Chains A and B, each alone.
Chain A
Amino acid sequence: MAVAAIPAGGIAGHIHPEPQGFVRRYVFSLDHKIIGIQYIITAFVFMVLAGLLAEVIRTQLLNANGGFVAPDTYNEVYSVHGSAMVWLVIIPLLTGGFGNLVFPLQIGARDVAFPWLNMLSFWIFPVAGLMLFSSFLMGAPTAGWMEYPPVSLQGAAGTSMWAAAIFLVGVSSTMTGINFVVTILKMRAPGMTFTRMPLFVWGQFATAPLLMIATTALAAALAALFIERQFGVPFFDPTKGGSPVMWQHMFWFYSHPAVYIMILPAFGIISEVLPTFSRKPIFGYKLIAFSSMAIALAGFMVWAHHMFTSGLAPFLQVPFMIITFVIGVPTGIKIFSWTATLWRGKIHYTTAMLFAIGFVGLFTLGGITGIFLAAIPFDLHVHGTYFIVGHIHYVLVGGSLMGVFAGMYYWFPKMSGRLLNETLGKLHFWLFFIGFNGTFIPMHWLGMLGMPREVATYDPQFTFWNRFESFSSYLMTFAILIFFVNVLWSIRNGKRSGPNPWGARTLEWQIPSPPNYYNFKHIPTIYGLPYDFSQPLPYKGLEDELTDSPPPAAAGAH
C-alpha cells in the first residue's frame, strides 16, 4: 500500500472541498467560523430569554413586598437567570463563540484540530439550553445557580432537569477545551511561537485547560445530585449520612475556575482591541500572557473563599484568603498594562474601543470588591448579600459582557463583511454604561446595610435604591435592544468593511471578510509579534490572499 504523500506545508497544507448544500454548510457545519457564529447566535437567543428573566427580577423588586410574581416563581426566575447567563450565555459566547471564530485564524490554521468534535460540542449546547428552560414546565429549580443541597433536594422536578442540562453543557465545554488545547499546541502556522501568539490566543490557551479539568468536578457533583434526587442515594442528605458541604466543595472547585473561564477570553479580546485602536503595541506583552496562565493556575487553589461561612476549620480558611489576594497581583498587572497601552497612543474612538476602555474601568471595580470579599472578616459580614450580587455583576457584566460587546463590534466585519453602525453602537455603549452602573453600584451598600440576596421581598427601608436599580436596569435593557437592532440592520445594510477596516495587524485581518472556507490559500509564516504598528507586517505567504487567484487544488479525496 502506497503511503499518501503529505502535501506541501504539512497536514495543514491540504484543503478539503467546501461542502455544498445549506445543511452541510450552515447547520451541521464542520467549519470553525460557522460553528463560532452558531454559538454566538444561540447564546444571544438565550441572552434575550435570561435577560427577560432579569427584568422580571427587577420588576418584582420595585416594591418591598414584591407582588409582581409569586415568591416561588420569583425563586425559579432568578435561579434560571443565573444558570442561563453563566452556562448558556457568557461561557459559550467567549469560548465556543469568539474562541472558535477567531483564534484558529489568528494562529494561521485552517480549522480546529477536531472539527467533528467541535460540531458535536456545539449541537449539545442548544439542546442543553432548551432542557434548562423547559424546567419551567415541571417546576424550575429555585435554589439559585448554586443549588446548595439539602434545599435543592426539596426542589421541584425541574431541579433534576437543571442538573442534567448543566451536565450536558459541561460535556460540551470539556470537549471544546480539549479541542482548543490541541489546536493551539499542534496547529500553529510555522513561526507562530508561543511568544508571538496574539493575546486573544493566550486567553483561550489559559481558559481551555480550565474547561477540561474544572468542568469534570462539576459533572461529578451534578451527577451525584441527580442520582440523589431521582434514586435516593444519599450523597448530600445529612440525615442519611451525606454531607451538604461536599456539594459546596465540588461546586466551587468548578465554579471558581469558571469565573476565569468567563473572564480570561474577555481579557484576550481587550488585549486585541486596545492596541489596535491606540495604534500602539500592547504594553508588557509577556507579563499579560504569563499573568493569564498564573491566574488560571492559582484559580484552582481558591475555591473555599466562597465557603468562609460554611463551617470550615478556621486554619484552613487563611491560605484560601491569601492565595485569593495573590491573584490580585497578576490581575493588577494586566490592568496597569492596558492603561499604559493607551499612554501616548493615537486613540480612535470606535465603539469597540469604548467598550474596551469601559471594560477596564468597570472590571477594575469588580476586581477591587473581589479583594474585599476575600478578606475573611469582611466576607463574614457581606457573604450572601447584595454586595456579592453587585460584585459578580461588575465582573461578569462590566467585565465579561463588555468584553463580548467589544468583540462583537470588533469582529462583526470578519463574520459578515459589514460594519456595525457606529452611531447606534455609541448610543448602545453610553446607555449601557449608565444603566449598568445605576443598576449595580447601589447593590454594594444595600448588601452592607443588610439586604440578603435571593429574596422575593425585602425590608422597606431599601425601597428607594431598589427602584433606582430597577429603572436603571430598564435603561440597560433598552441599550441591549439597540444592539440587537444594530446587528439585524447592519447584517444587510451595514457599510461593507473590506478585509481590514480597523488597520489591525493580527492574521485574521489580512484575509478577506468573511474569510474563505479554507481560511488561508497558503499557510503563512510568522516572523514576529503582531503589535508593531511602525513595522511591516511580520507575515510571509499572504500575497495571494486578497487577490482573485484560486486556492491550490484540493488534495485528493480520502
Chain B
Amino acid sequence: MIENRAEPVRLDSGFWGATAVLTLLAVASIVFWYVFPIDRYLPEAIVTARQVDTLFRFMAATGSALYIFVAGYLVFFSIAYRAKASDPPGAVGVQIHDNRKLEFWWTLIPSLFVVLLSIVSVRIWYEIMLEPENGLVVEAIGHQFDFTFRYPQINGEVTDEMHLPLGVPVTLNLTSAEVIHGFWVPAMRLKNDTVPGLVTSIRFTPRLVGRYPIICTQFCGVLHSQMDKQVLVIENKSSFDRWFKGWQQKNAHASNALPAAGGGAISLQGGDVASGKQLFSQKCTACHKLAPFDQKLVGPGLLGVLHDPSHPNLVNGQAATPPDVATILQNGYTGSMGAMPNASANGLSAKDIADLVAFLNTLK
C-alpha cells in the first residue's frame, strides 16, 4: 500500500471555488423562499396562517441552504476525487481520521440552530395558542362522513357549510360522534383531530373573505376521501348575520337533544326517586358530587342541574331539560366538561335512566 498521510491538510483552490458557487446558490435559495408568494397558491385565511408561512419560509430557506452545501459538496467531491486510470495500483485517499476543530464547529452550529429554531417555533406556537378566548364559540362534530356545526342561538345542527364573520375571534370546539377525524382547513394552516370522548379546541381570527375547503385528514372509513366537500365561508358581518338568521329560522323547531343511540326516545314515565337516589350513590358518585356545578370531581357537581339558572347551559345555549339529561345518560357525554361513558358501559337500563332523571329533578 502507498503511504498517503498528507502533511498539514490544505484546502485547494478547487474547494474554495466550489464553496463560492455553493454559497451563491445558497443565498439565491434563501432569497427565493423569502420572496416566493405562498399566498398566491394558498390564501392565508386567518391571522396566524401568515405566521405559519413565516416559519415555513425560515425553515425552507435554512434547510435548502444546508441541503445545497451537503449535496453540492457530495457531488463536487465525487467528481473531483474520483479514482483515475493514471493512479498507481492500490492508490489510497488522504488518510485523515478526524478533525476535532471541524467536528466541534459542525456540532456547535447545528446546536445553536436548534436553539434558534426552538425559539422561533415556540413563539409562533404561542401566537396560535394565545388567540383570544372570549370569541364566538362554534362546535364542529365529526361524523362518518361529514362535519356538523353547532352555534349558540341556533337550535340543532348546521350542515353543509361553516360560516364565520370576518375579524371576529373564534373558538372552535371539536369532537366526534364515532371515530377520529381530522378537521383541516388548508387555508388556515391549522388542523386538529376530532376525537370521540374528547373535546379539543382551536382558536383563530379570520382575516380574509373567501370559501375554503374543509378536509378530513385522519382515515375514518370507506368514504374518507369524500370527506372534503364541505366549505368554511369567511364573510362580512352583514352577510354572516343574514346566514345566521336563516339558520335560526330554519332550525327554530329543531331539537337540541342529541339523538339517542340505537334510536327511540327514552320514556321518562314512572321514574322512581328513591331507587334513583340509590342508583346515584352506586353509579354516579365516583365522578359527580351532589354539590354546585363548579365543585368538580371528574364531572361537574349536579346539584340543581335541572333547576339552578346558574348551571351552565348546553352548548347550544339552552338550559338542560329532563330529556337532555336522559340523552346524556343514554349516549354518554363528550364535550367541554370531559367524557362520560354511555348507559351500556355504566350498566344502566331504560328504567334506571328514568329513575335517575326523576331523582336529579328533585335536586334544587
Contacts and interface: CB of A to CB of B under 8 A. Distances in A.
B93 interface: yes
A239 B332 contact: yes
Interface stretch (A91-99, A166-174, A340-348): A340-348
A349 B192 CA distance: 48
Given A384-B218, A534-B2, A376 B67 contact: no
A342 B78 contact: yes
B190 interface: yes
B211 interface: no
B124 to A, nearest CB: 5
Contact of B71 (A234, A243, A328, A361): A361
Contacts of A448: 42, 186
A311 interface: yes
A284 to B, nearest CB: 5
A339 interface: yes
Interface residues of A, number: 90
B121 interface: yes
Interface stretch (A18-26, A274-282, A513-521): A274-282
Interface string B176-219: 00111010101001111101111010000000000001011111
B101 to A, nearest CB: 12
A347 B341 contact: no
21 contacts: A144-B219, A234-B345, A243-B197, A283-B96, A283-B98, A284-B97, A311-B198, A328-B110, A329-B110, A333-B103, A345-B77, A345-B81, A346-B91, A346-B92, A371-B117, A372-B60, A377-B189, A378-B59, A448-B186, A450-B213, A452-B184
A344 B121 CA distance: 39
A459 to B, nearest CB: 7
B1 interface: yes
Contacts of A455: 224-225
A256 interface: no
B239 interface: no
B241 to A, nearest CB: 29
Contact of B342 (A239, A364, A371, A384): A239
Given A333-B107, A357-B74, A384-B191, A458 B179 contact: no
A146 B91 CA distance: 50
Given A142-B222, A309-B182, A309-B192, A364 B77 contact: no
A432 B10 CA distance: 37
B52 interface: yes
B87 interface: yes
A533 B261 CA distance: 74
A343 B77 contact: yes
A450 B187 CA distance: 8
B4 interface: yes
B106 interface: yes
A151 interface: yes
Interface stretch (A186-194, A200-208, A317-325, A398-406): A317-325
Closest A-B pairs by Cβ, 7 of them: A238-B197, A384-B217, A455-B225, A345-B93, A280-B93, A342-B77, A450-B186
A493 interface: no
Interface in B52-96: 52, 55-56, 59-60, 63, 66-67, 70-71, 73-74, 77-78, 81-83, 87, 90-96
Interface string B326-352: 000001101000010110110000000
Interface string A336-379: 11011011111111000000010011001100110110011110
Interface of B: 1-6, 9, 41-42, 48, 51-52, 55-56, 59-60, 63, 66-67, 70-71, 73-74, 77-78, 81-83, 87, 90-99, 102-103, 106-107, 110-111, 114, 117-118, 121-122, 124-125, 128-129, 178-180, 182, 184, 186, 189-193, 195-198, 200, 213, 215-226, 228, 261, 331-332, 334, 339, 341-342, 344-345
Contacts of A239: 196-197, 261, 331-332, 341-342, 345
Contacts of B179: 150-151, 154
Nearest to B216: A452
A339 B74 contact: yes
B70 A381 contact: no
Contact of A378 (B4, B52, B99, B197): B52
B336 to A, nearest CB: 12
A314 interface: yes
B81 A377 contact: no
> Quick one: which of A72, A151, A333 has the most chain B CB within 10 A?
A151
Nearest to B102: A340
Nearest to A533: B92
Contacts of B129: 314
Nearest to B58: A375
A377 B9 CA distance: 44
Contact of A381 (B4, B180, B191): B191
